[in-house]
Amino acid sequence: GDSVTQMEGPVTLSEEAFLTINCTYTATGYPSLFWYVQYPGEGLQLLLKATKADDKGSNKGFEATYRKETTSFHLEKGSVQVSDSAVYFCALSDSDAGNMLTFGGGTRLMVKP
Amino acid sequence: DAGITQSPRHKVTETGTPVTLRCHQTENHRYMYWYRQDPGHGLRLIHYSYGVKDTDKGEVSDGYSVSRSKTEDFLLTLESATSSQTSVYFCAISESEYSNQPQHFGDGTRLSIL
């Protein structure tokens, strides 16, 4: 079956540091890939997505590139802010499974001033 | 933001009691989903609906039932709650069944079963 693996947290960074959160996946079909962000006490918000190989999703300074050859979708940001502190989830939706989302376990990011 | 309202937002109840969680949407989307969120597991799909009275099971459906009598409402019922069902429950909606369409999430219901 499908699965998503992302690095365990928490990840603690100082403000303006570079962020990478690793995400790898296995899928039987041709998945679309997503990053969601969850701020404390809130639901998940779509951060960015990529729907085919070599696509780059970007939003709010975050980027992730769909790498089919390495089955990866790593999240990056060049300079994090305190307001980026949240839990980040990598997820896939497989073309063989309609619009069912499979999530990774989540990575908590803490950014210190 | 997508118009999704979950109720209640918090609930504490005892083992063996029935519990119903409600998800209400104002987007007229056809697809609705219930997930549970547990530490280390991300979100796991419980049940989903692809139309009025059309529902199907997800990955962790045991102990849960759902109903959808109107497009805008999707109910999740725990017939006899157990402590293992203590979790945060999220409703999501989607406009279509295509895998490239994102789901949009409500703010969640925190359920504690003592």
Residues with Cβ within 8 Å of residue A58, at least 6 apart in sequence? A48, A64
A106 in reach of chain B (CB within 8 A): yes
> Could you give the CA distance from residue B8 to residue A100 in angstroms, rounded to a whole number?
25
Q: Indicate yes or no: CB of A100 within 8 angstroms of CB of B101.
A: no
- Please state the φ and ψ torsions of residue A12, each to the nearest 5 degrees: -115, 125
Q: Indicate yes or no: CB of A49 within 8 angstroms of CB of B104.
A: no
Q: What is the pLDDT of residues B20-77, one digit of tens each?
A: 999 999 999 999 999 999 987 889 999 999 999 999 999 999 999 999 999 999 999 9
Q: Indicate yes or no: CB of B99 within 8 angstroms of CB of A93.
A: yes
Report pLDDT for A9: 85
**Which of A94, A98, A104 is closest, CB to CB, to B42?**
A104
pLDDT 10s per residue in chain A (113 long)? 889 999 888 999 999 999 999 999 999 888 999 999 999 888 899 999 999 999 999 999 999 999 999 999 999 999 999 999 999 999 999 866 667 899 999 999 999 99
State the count of interchain CB pairs (< 8 A) between A and B: 64
Report pLDDT for A96: 64
A4 in reach of chain B (CB within 8 A): yes
Residues with Cβ within 8 Å of residue A63, at least 6 apart in sequence? A48, A56, A57, A75, A76, A77
